[in-house]
Structure 1
């Protein structure tokens, strides 16, 4: 089974750590981590990954900053091929 998890905002990073750890202990689960890239400054998102021991994302959508509507639309467009 493949489980794709999408993270982008601080609350997402806090919640995904334990879930990824649990999924990693189950060989029947293929986990895929997608980062929206809405934090355009790598120091912000990289800090979350390091502090919370979250593995590097498999995909970074690189959305960057913009209005909520624009970011949502970009995430949807860029996530489609994943």
Structure 2
């Protein structure tokens, strides 16, 4: 997979995960867009790979955040 397609895939994944962000989708989308625009001129493949790895870390953190939110909601619903 080329670096460009990895970056696009990461962007789409983050946009999808941003739908349930606690501060709202618009807030998340603006911040995500600005972060990608800030790094649009980077040409070094090693640096791009590091940024992709960091983005994948953010994806895992968001998934953990959503799972924790779901767990807490279920716990509140069924237990005192």
TM-score > 0.5 by shorter chain: no
Specify which structure has the higher proportion of helix: 2
Identify, as 1 or 2, the structure richer in strand.
Answer: 1
Q: Which has the larger radius of gyration?
A: 2
TM-score norm. by structure 2 comes to: 0.31
Comparing both chains, which one has the higher relative contact order based on Cα–Cα distances under 8 Å and sequence gaps of 6 or more?
2
The TM-score, its normalising length taken from structure 1, stands at 0.31
